[in-house]
Chains A and B, each alone.
Chain A
């Protein structure tokens, strides 16, 4: 079997804390003959072709790690993996501070047996890794919204961009509110020994907002082409370039262990977006 046919990357988006949804997705893929190799970007899962089998997956959150390398280099890693291996849980990969295990036993003892302890780890992880990004995204989108609201660019027919930034701002807030709602419900469930599943309406809401953003973007592109408004297209291309560069920096950042270097990468990421905004503004002013 050629390498191209043996490996395949699937895109499936989950909330960061949706460990039950991710586990079910991975177990479904195993029954279709795909075994997880690596989790890459937020929504990318790399699989290898295997015989269809019933595998059990477990996802655990370790707030003290920040990526796979920091997990593999951590002092207690071997001790932890041995402890997990004793009940049949084999390490697959780590993503941010999420560690993924698989178990080939028929009815394995779950990796996490205390919902309160598990919930505390998830909450710490979300506060450490997701909250700063949510705040940054919200700040960027609202800044763009108010900047466009009070500048003359609106009169040049780009009011639709206002809608994009308004929708994105609302989305980031609602996304985090969705987590807080789930967390509150999960605390109550954990007190009775249950782990609360992620609310499916939150996932539906995320999909709906993503669809709205895609639709608005498509309308902006079509409108810009029809009206020969190349300025908007150039600005949108700049945003895409900034996103690609940010993704590239994220990949590099994951290979770094040192704290201050990581912060430097985060700072450069913000600078890239600010540069894209500044370039966009300059181009608008030119035309």
Chain B
């Protein structure tokens, strides 16, 4: 949670309840995969499907930013 805040210069803050629900949701839809569980610590990585979803979202945002540049800059 702290890392998310650091990575985004404090712009994005994720509460523990939201993080837990998102992990459950991402696991359920196959966006992430659990790699190992050491005690209560669990590690997850992006699945191939997750990488595609992330890439699509990045491209969608880039297109929107490009539209903004064309119209207003």
Contacts and interface: CB of A to CB of B under 8 A. Distances in A.
Q: How large is the interface on B (under 10, 10 to 19, 20 to 34, 35 or more residues)?
A: 10 to 19
A89 B67 CA distance: 42
A118 B18 contact: yes
A110 interface: yes
Q: Main secondary structure on chain B at its contact with chain A?
A: helix
Interface in A68-85: 76, 78-80, 82-84
B17 A111 contact: yes
A113 B15 CA distance: 5
B6 to A, nearest CB: 14
B16 interface: yes
A111 B15 CA distance: 5
Interface in B14-68: 14-22, 24-25, 40, 42
Contacts of B16: 80, 83-84, 86-87, 89, 111
A76 B15 CA distance: 17
A58 to B, nearest CB: 7
A276 B14 CA distance: 51
B17 to A, nearest CB: 4
B28 to A, nearest CB: 10
A60 B19 CA distance: 12
B17 A58 contact: yes
A226 interface: no
Contacts, number: 53
A118 B19 CA distance: 11
A180 interface: no
Contacts of A109: 1, 13, 15
B13 to A, nearest CB: 6
Nearest to A108: B15
Contacts of B21: 117-118, 120-121
Contacts of A86: 1, 16
A112 B15 contact: yes
B42 A79 contact: yes
Contacts of B13: 109, 113
A79 B17 contact: no
B40 A117 contact: no
A114 interface: yes
A20 to B, nearest CB: 15
Contacts of B19: 83
12 contacts: A76-B20, A79-B40, A83-B16, A86-B1, A87-B16, A112-B17, A114-B22, A117-B22, A117-B25, A118-B18, A118-B21, A120-B25
Given A110-B15, A114-B22, A117-B25, 13 more contacts: A58-B17, A60-B17, A83-B1, A83-B16, A83-B19, A89-B17, A111-B16, A113-B13, A113-B14, A113-B15, A117-B18, A117-B21, A118-B17
